[in-house]
Amino acid sequence: MVDHSREHLLRKDSIWIQTGREGQELDAGSATGKSLGVFTSGGDSQGMNSAVRAVVRMGTFLGCKVYYIKEGYQGMVDGGDLITEASWASSSGIMQKGGTVIGSARCADFRQRAGRLKAAKNLIDKNITNLVVIGGDGSLTGANLFRQEWMSLLDELKETGKITDEQRRNCSHINIVGMVGSIDNDFCGTDMTIGTDSALHRIIESVDSISTTASSHQRAFVLEVMGRHCGYLALVAALATEADWVLIPECPPDHGWEKTLCKKLSAEREMGLRLNIVIVAEGAIDIDGNPITANMVKDLITNELKYDTRVTVLGHVQRGGKPTAFDRILGARMGAEAVLALMDAKPDTPACVVSLDGNQTVRVPLLECVERTKSVQEAMNKKNFQEAVRLRGKSFQNNLATYLRLSKLRPPKVMCDPTGQVCSSGKKLAVMNIGAPACGANAAVRSFVRFALTKGYTVLGIHDSFDGLLYGDALCKVKPIGWTDVHGWTCQGGSLLGTKKCTAARYGLDKVAEKLKEHDISGLLIIGGFEAYHSALQMAEARSKYDAFCIPMVVIPCTISNNVPGTDFSLGADTALNEIADICDRIKQSATGTKRRVFIVEVMGGYCGYLATMAGLAGGADAAYIYEDPFNITNLRDDVIHLKNKIIQLGVQRGLILRNENANANYTTDFIHQMFSEEGKGSFTCRKNVLGHMQQGGVPSPFDRNYGTKMASKAVDYMITKVEENTTEDGKIKSCTKDSAVLLGMCRRQLLFTPLEELREITDFEKRLPKQQWWLSLVRPLLRIMTKHSNETYRADAILTNVDFEDDDNA
């Protein structure tokens, strides 16, 4: 169950922190005197450095003394120089690096009590009674055992004269908070572990690259990906790349799978496809528990089908490289929350894991998570694979069900023919894009088309938005989309349907209604940005005048600006964030060897500061200026002085300032560049960059591909339910209730359908913004704290919950 009682505000100077502590307030300097240690253990993963940085800076912000424990548990056991005090400056410049800069090592000594006794002594010598553990299930299990033994370890150290009575009293208990750093995403209790998104990027980049050479030579490729006994990486990669087949340990193929696989691959070649991709998880097994390797699959295809087949084992390249924007932000959010969880902890507080559920940070009992994770493997050992899939959680189940439905060769014959023109229901759904193009839109269209066809509904693709609907008859701009028409769409950016930034009212609602009626459309999916939401709202509000609008309408937000109400995330924003973070990394790197340089970077977003703020957090920016957080010349002056002090006193060599394109009409990018250049003379030089439309380009990220796919899947189910509920006796659709014109969005822990009528009240139509945005009160203060500002307001995000998220309907 979820504990919603966390409304106690704790004060530190002008800093307010919301925590789970019952009825207590912290005065200024309340954390002074406390010490905490942070270490990474087990296999490394991208994003660990962001988490370490956040722990150091949030701990310093609260007045704690923070220590690096280098080389994981081995450093804790060996002590000495491996446990060193961290500083703000020592955590600078590490966020964009892969791996872990404080090292990680397997430690046999810590598995023995004698090793844990040494570790306890080393921590007590530094007065460390709070630990942040960043690692996998083995590392967290070891930490929990250490905590359980702590009292007996103290007793033994006291009896042998290795610690004093005072040390015994001061270190009477130890608090432990874990963060899961693992590319495998095999830990129950979180939707995403730190490093998983980066590993998926490596895999999908590899598959996309292999696909071009495979198509050139009509080859089949078998790719082996990591994950140990968890098939998450293989499954999500298959979903994001439209792989022909995937083999994972949780859902092994039935007997005779070899013949089924060959039959499918052969049929695809007969349909004109020039390549085949099979993804194999390294722990893949058959229904009897026997291993299935990439080479076995390669030999099968070669021998049975005579295809030129190659094997690619991606190996440790999946762990390498710099972290994605998602993993950087995840590490920062989790690291900050971990410190607050330690500050909240009492002697009897169970060790917890800070994790992610949807877009909600949660604190989950560590022991529960470990036991649940072990139970997955136990279920697989007993060949109870259905239970193993259930234990992986709702997100894993949704991914598997979605892949199985989308990867079929064609829709069921009883429902629809492959062209999509003859379907059993006799009804037509339509899909269109409105607004600026954004990555993920094509994945959503593909998913919508295929899921609708499997349910017996024809799908009309409306090309070029309202232009195609109203004026495209001669060019066939409104036409059925077949099953194979959308093959390969998932990995492509932009809008293959075509799009335009205009609302329905500008074309005339009467004309739009006439065309919808002419094409006999029973339900409409609109994928796009603010114009898409506004157009759907205009049509919904005109239902009393035009019966053609009395159909189910669903909006899927798709814009890099993330400025649509009713959702925490819009399709396309993740890809844009990665583009910005990557460009900022390269911009900063360009100044390597140049002393003290500050970059002023302008990003897109309209009046919405989401991109500037989140990219600032992901890129380690010193400031991010946005419209929603008004600033003046005094703020700019203070930021210049603050940056100069960091450069002169802490030895920082490079600075990064982000500005949203519409942050302020007077304080333009040019103005800020000139001001920083003038005021920074003698301390640093300044350069300006306007990123422009490259933020809209690129291929969709794994997140946007899968988010779009699953959003469209839910939209189909919802729309068809409404169609069937509102079909009259004469077969007409009469759907005028407010819940039949909705926007589908991620709201904290759930995917929700929100009536457009309700969203009107929370929308600023002049500036094209939601009136409330979740990241303003959470990420903005965190960004400032990470850059050494001490006069900020920060509210903890996490809620207390258990490991079972089965009631949550997240993506």
721-754 pLDDT, tens digit per residue, is 999 999 988 888 899 999 999 999 998 778 999 9
Q: How confident is the model at residue 653 (pLDDT cuts 50, 70, 90)?
A: confident
The strand pairing partners of 177, in sequence order, are: 132, 352
Nearest to 363 by CA among 376, 350, 373, 372: 350
pLDDT band for position 20 (cuts 50, 70, 90): very low
Residue with tokens 């903890």: 796
Q: Span 770-774, mean pLDDT?
A: 94
Q: Higher confidence at residue 691 or residue 348? A: 691
Q: How far apart are CA 517 and CA 542, in angstroms?
A: 14
Query: For residue 7, is pLDDT > 50?
Result: no
Edge to edge, the sheet with strand 521-528 lists 478-480, 458-462, 428-434, 521-528, 553-557, 741-747, 750-755
Question: What's the pLDDT at 142?
Answer: 92
Q: Over 50: is that where the pLDDT of 806 sits?
A: no
- pLDDT of residue 809 exceeding 70, the answer is no
Backbone φ/ψ region at 456: left (φ over 0), alpha (ψ -120 to 50), beta? left
pLDDT the model gives residue 741: 97
Q: Nearest-5° angle of CA 630, CA 633, CA 638?
A: 95
67 or 20, which is more confident: 67
pLDDT in tens, 88-120: 889 998 999 999 999 998 899 999 999 999 999
Q: What pLDDT, in 10s, does the model give residues 199-212?
A: 999 999 999 999 99
How is residue 767 written in tokens? 């500036």
pLDDT classification of 482: cutoffs 50, 70, 90: very high
User: Confidence band (pLDDT; 50, 70, 90) for 417?
Assistant: confident
For the cut 60, the answer to whether the pLDDT of residue 16 exceeds it is no
Cα 165 to Cα 158: distance, rounded to the nearest angstrom: 7
Q: In the chain, pLDDT over 90 holds for what percent of residues?
A: 76
Residue 808 has pLDDT above 70, yes or no: no
Mean pLDDT of 480-502: 94
Q: What is the mean pLDDT of residues 545-573?
A: 96
Tally the residues of the chain.
811
- Over residues 524-557, the pLDDT tens digits come to 999 999 999 999 999 999 999 999 999 999 999 9
DSSP string covering 278-344: EEEETT-B-TTS-B--HHHHHHHHHHHH---EEEEE-GGGGT-SPPPHHHHHHHHHHHHHHHHHHHH
Alpha carbons 692 and 723: distance in angstroms, whole number: 42
- The confidence score (pLDDT) of residue 742 equals 98
Take residue 384 and report the two structure tokens written for it: 């109870």
For every residue of 98-138, DSSP letters joined together read SS-TT-----SGGGSHHHHHHHHHHHHHTT--EEEEEE-HH
Residue where the block lists tokens 């015994």:
168
| Spatial separation of the C-alpha atoms in residues 332 and 51, rounded to whole Å | 5
User: Which of 327-341, 548-562, 584-598, 648-662 is predicted least confidently?
Assistant: 584-598
CA–CA separation, 560 vs 603, rounded Å?
11
Cα–Cα dist 268/264, whole Å: 6
Strand partners, 10: 17
Distances in whole angstroms, Cα of residue 299 to Cα of each of 165, 210, 273, 282, 313:
68, 19, 21, 17, 15
**Which pLDDT score is estimated for 796?**
58
Query: From the DSSP assignment, how many helices (H) and strands (E) are in the chain?
Result: 25, 27
347 Cβ neighbours under 8 A, 6+ residues apart: 172, 173
- Chain segment 780-801, per-residue pLDDT in tens: 889 989 988 665 545 555 666 6
**Tokens at 765, concatenated:** 């139509």
- Cα–Cα distance, 251 to 285 (Å, whole number): 9
Continuous segment of H or E residues that includes residue 599: strand 597-603
Q: What is the pLDDT averaged over residues 152-175?
A: 94
Given this model, what pLDDT does residue 413 score? 87
Tell me: pLDDT of 4 over 60.
Answer: no
What does the alpha-carbon distance between residue 261 and residue 236 come to, in Å, rounded to a whole number? 19
The answer to whether 446 and 431 are in contact (CB under 8 A) is: no
CA distance 145 to 558: 46
Q: Per-residue pLDDT tens for 709-728?
A: 999 999 999 999 999 999 98
- Angle value at C-alpha 733, between 731 and 737, nearest 5 degrees: 145
Alpha carbon distance, N-terminus to C-terminus of the chain: 20
For residues 676 and 362, the model is more confident at: 676
CA distance 779 to 785: 10
Half-sphere exposure at residue 345, Cβ-oriented, CA atoms within 13 angstroms: 28
The predicted structure's pLDDT at residue 11: 27
Would you state the pLDDT for residue 359? 80
Does pLDDT of 391 surpass 80?
A: yes
Mean pLDDT over 227-247 rounds to 95
C-beta of residue 110 within 8 angstroms of C-beta of residue 77: yes
pLDDT number for residue 6: 29
Q: What are phi and psi of 127, to 5 degrees?
A: 60, 35
Distance of CA 470 to the CA centre of its chain: 38
Pairing of strands 352-357, 175-180: parallel
- Taking Cα atoms as reference points, which of 322, 232, 810 lies closest to residue 569? 810
Q: Answer whether 243's CB lies under 8 Å from 279's CB.
A: yes
**What is the structure's pLDDT at 119?**
97
Q: What is the mean pLDDT of residues 162-173?
A: 93
Read off the pLDDT of each residue in 297-326 and give the average, rounded to a whole number.
Answer: 95
Radius of gyration of the chain (CA): 28
Q: What is the pLDDT of residue 356?
A: 82
What pLDDT sits at residue 367? 87
Is 184 designated active site?
A: yes
Average pLDDT of the residues in 672-698: 93
Strands 750-755 and 360-365: unpaired
Alpha-carbon gap, residue 434 to 439, rounded angstroms: 13
Q: How confident is the model at residue 650 (pLDDT cuts 50, 70, 90)?
A: confident
Q: Are 768 and 503 in contact (CB under 8 A)?
A: no
Q: Which of 184, 464, 585, 797 is catalytic?
A: 184
Per-residue model confidence (pLDDT) at position 17: 34
pLDDT band at 395 (very low <50, low <70, confident <90, very high): confident
Instruction: Please compute the mean of the pLDDT values over residues 312-317 and round it to a whole number.
Output: 94
Q: What is the pLDDT of residue 26?
A: 35
For residue 15, pLDDT beyond 80: no
Whether 438 and 563 have beta carbons less than 8 Å apart is answered as no
Least confident of 85-94, 345-354, 356-365, 702-711: 356-365
